Amino acid sequence: MKSLRVLASSGHYKNPGQVGQSEVQTSAPIAPPACVQGCLESLVGEPWRSFRGQFAYGYDEEPRGHGFLVRQAHVLSSSGVKPKATGAMMEGIRTVKVETYFDLSYRIAVKGPWEQKVADALAGNVSRFGVLSLGESSDVVTWIDEAPPTQNTRWIVPGNRMALIIESGRGFDRITARYGTFDFGPRPHWFGEPEGVDDDFLDVLDLFSEGK
């Protein structure tokens, strides 16, 4: 197993749906499983939805900051983005307030065939595009290294506190999202293959004693 400490400068995990002019574009309180999976795929330079194996994740610490950043959102429309003849507003652009967390400290654990890919990435031996992010592209991962899990890690586990996207899929004509409901817990829940691992909890104390 690879246990990763992942630090990010900021995080916005958009709840899907349109946001009107001057409204708040809310964020999930933690990166959803789909987002973490995407980060792992980007880390190792592999395509979207190519991850194989299992991963678990949570917060080592609560985010250090929280705020709402004003942004001009370009709204996708079939007619494109055209300026209006008069007036200050451009058609297709809305001012929205983006809910953002700051100074995030994640724990991400990986088991299975991708452990070696992760090791290769941390050694700088993968070819990939862009800068590593967790969230939007501007939510840059500022540090990632291998470190043992801590007793303080609050792992994402099945529960009823929050709904998070577990899979982004392609519907008939658009990208859709499938949700699960989750909570924070003291021991990790493993996402991914093989099927039926939802009850396979790992005792964190064993990680310390056995040096996994």
Residues that bind other proteins (CB under 8 A): 6-7, 9-10, 22, 42-43, 64-71, 74-84, 87-90, 92-93, 95, 97, 100, 102-103, 121-133, 137-138, 140-145, 173-174
In whole angstroms, what is the distance from residue 30 CA to residue 8 CA?
A: 12
| Residue 44 DSSP class | H
In the complex, least distance from residue 200 CB atom to other proteins, rounded to whole angstroms: 28
Residue 109 vs 144, nearer CB to other proteins: 144
| Residues forming a β-bridge with 192 | 54
Nearer to other proteins, 69 or 205 (CB): 69
- Closer residue to other proteins (CB): 136 or 183: 136
Minimum CB–partner distance for residue 43 and other proteins (Å): 6
Is residue 190 within 8 Å of 197, Cβ to Cβ?
Answer: yes
- Residue 63 CA to residue 104 CA, distance in Å, equals 5
Query: 90 or 205: whose CB is closer to other proteins?
Result: 90
Nearer to other proteins, 79 or 209 (CB): 79
Tokens representing 160 are 């009823």
Strand-strand pairing, 93-111 and 24-25: parallel
d(CA 153, CA 58) in angstroms, rounded, equals 6
- Shortest reach from residue 47's CB to other proteins, in Å: 14
The CB-of-60 to other proteins minimum distance in angstroms stands at 13
Looking at residue 96, the DSSP 8-state letter turns out to be E
The full length of the chain comes to: 212
Give the integer Cα–Cα distance in Å for 144 and 122: 8
- Whole-angstrom CA distances from 114 to 59, 79, 133, 183, 211 are 22, 42, 19, 26, 19
Cβ of residue 95: shortest distance to other proteins, in angstroms? 8
Q: Which is nearer to other proteins, 45 or 186 (CB)?
A: 45
Nearest distance from C-beta of residue 188 to other proteins, angstroms: 21
